Amino acid sequence: MKNSSLLILCLICSVIYSEYEFENAFPNLTFVDPVGIHHAGDGSNRLFIVEQEGRIKVFDNDSNTTSSQTFLDIRSIVDQDGGYTEEGLLGLAFHPNYSENGYFYVNYTDYGPKRNVIARYSVDPDNPNEADYFSSEVILEVNQPYNNHNGGQMEFGSDGYLYISFGDGGSAGDPQDNGQDLSTLLSTIIRIDVDNTTNDMNYSIPSDNPFIGNQGARPEIFAYGLRNVWRFSFDSETDLLWAADVGQNAWEEIDIIYPGLNYGWNEMEASHCYPPGSNCNPDDFELPVWEYELYVDGVCSVTGGYVYRGSDIFTLRGKYIYGDWCTGDLWALSSADNENYINEDLIRTGINITSFGIDQYNELYFCGNQRIYKITSNEGDLNNDESLNVLDVILLVNLVLSGQYNDIADFNSDQILNVLDVITLINIILE
């Protein structure tokens, strides 16, 4: 009888599989080097795709969509070096009151001199799927000494201010020591008020920015010591600002950004002294909440994502989803106490993941290889019969009673299989 029970248990365990997959979200659409996925926050359920060469495409968020429309085309003013480049149209952010004022903001690179340009555009009042090309107003420009490490992310916070990331200026190793220099906007995340102007600028400085009054410091700076934050995002429930900072030669890092803090570059790479073997004091800096080593199993460059707040995948709620550009690995990072973090392997997609984005319902997408993808899940289907029912509950109860652990069945990610997982599975089935 004992041997029979073991056999049954083994058979049960053998059918439990990795529950996460991915799919081409819009199989009829392709894009030219997509680097951003956005929605306008206007209730239209449209998606806007940023193409690095200088176009923004728009289409209805429907898997059966057969065509997209050019919302804005600024290829004539966007400059990129030939071949692989980190330049181009890099960022897009819709004003919180976009449905009323029609304002949106772009971040692109230009030459003469080499620089990042932050500009505001307006939608055509007669066509919601087309921007007014001639409405451009430059908000801010930041000179760039090299053609890499341009950062590029922009996002409005719940405070109504615009946050923008800039890399360290490029090359390698931060040769100009911008990382620890508060007199430059390079190597920072800045925060500006685009609804007001002051001192001949097309923006103003929020009164609680952390470096106001610091002699020699740029008042726009929100946080600094960041090598190249290509993508960051706000958690829509907690307002925490999550940033993925691309490393130099050894480590990629995930940070939670707080006002006024120094994240270490170029004295540290993630939680390690830079260059290796040098002296540094980690207590002087805010260390990452997670890091991973470069070139292990092919990983090479972190792509920041979002804390998942959608409803399609129950087991990912509240977890920070991010990836790696080289391997297309997708991970989920979570913590119950904001101190001890758990990293879960989700999928190795094999796609060069350039960016993540969410729709108006907080469902998560990622882009790469000229397409837009979506994570899918058969969560709860423990016996892999493509149905959620009492058989899956029975299987889970047997696992709990046997004392065997399986991470696929650990629905609440507490590293224990118990009645709480059973309750969670029942809720998934009921939903």
Q: Report the DSSP pairing between strands 272-273 and 268-269.
A: antiparallel
Q: What is the CA angle 24-93-169, rounded to 5?
A: 95
b or e along 88-107 (b: 16 or more beta carbons within 10 Å of the residue's beta carbon)?
Answer: bbbbbbbbbebeeebbbbbb
Local confidence pLDDT in tens for the 431 residues of the chain:
344 443 344 434 444 445 789 999 999 999 999 999 999 999 999 999 999 999 999 999 999 999 999 999 999 999 887 666 899 999 999 999 999 999 999 999 999 999 999 999 999 999 999 999 999 999 999 999 999 999 999 999 999 999 999 999 999 999 999 999 999 999 999 999 999 999 899 999 999 999 999 999 999 999 999 999 999 999 999 999 999 999 999 999 999 999 999 999 999 999 999 999 999 999 999 999 999 999 999 999 999 999 999 988 888 999 999 999 999 999 999 998 888 999 999 999 999 999 999 999 999 999 999 999 999 887 677 777 767 788 878 888 888 888 877 767 787 777 788 988 888 888 877 87
Find out whether 382 and 398 touch, Cβ atoms under 8 Å. Answer: no
Domain positions in the chain = 1-19+382-431, 20-377
At the second CATH level, the architecture of 20-377 is 6 Propeller (2.120)
Exposed / middle / buried, residue 51 (Cβ in 10 Å: 0-12, 13-18, 19+): buried
> How much is the pTM?
0.88
Asked if residue 162 lies in contact with residue 154, where contact means CB atoms within 8 angstroms, the answer is yes
Alpha-carbon distance 396 to 392, whole Å? 6
